[in-house]
Structure 1
Amino acid sequence: MEAYEIIKEPIISEKATEMNTKFNQVVFKVDKRANKYQIKKAVEKIYEKNGVRVDKVRTMNVPGKLKRVRSRAGRLSGWKKAIVSLKKGSKLEFQ
């Protein structure tokens, strides 16, 4: 898999922003088949212009949810979340 196939999008929420400022961690939505090593290499490759170095990666599978619109029921598919800890001196911010 290529780096842009592994990292789908950054998660920008109040909790993720606080993790970025306090603990120098960034949260991404990633491909379900990707492992920690692939995620680490993909983040370093995509953000190499910023000089980003990854310290460690934690992953979790987020289960899908049941959603209802009027009388019809549907299901959102599950996805994988990666919390990437950056090394000291590395900084990554999103607007």
Structure 2
Amino acid sequence: MGSGPSAIEVEFALEAKCYKPGSSVGVKELSRLLSRLRHRQFGVLVTTSYLGSQAYSELKEDGHPVVIISAEDITSLLKERIGSTSSIAHWLENI
């Protein structure tokens, strides 16, 4: 992370789930990511939906070093960086 002499190397495991709206990522999918984490690694879970309440509770209670990027996070970033829904659709068509 970072650049130049102050950059540091960071290891992480990534799990990505493309689910339809209304379908949550559950304990099973989160467990898959957690089982791959090694000492001093952190996890990133990216999903087009959200993390289910039971999975979220277990993640928080156990203090696992996992970052969740949900559909809401993705849409907020797109709106912030690109603009309106039509601008986002135009951008997606051109990539």
TMscore range, shorter length: under 0.3
TM-score normalized with structure 1 length: 0.26
Higher helix residue share: 2
TM-score normalized with structure 2 length: 0.26
Higher relative contact order (CA 8 A, sep 6+): 1
Q: Which has the larger radius of gyration?
A: 2
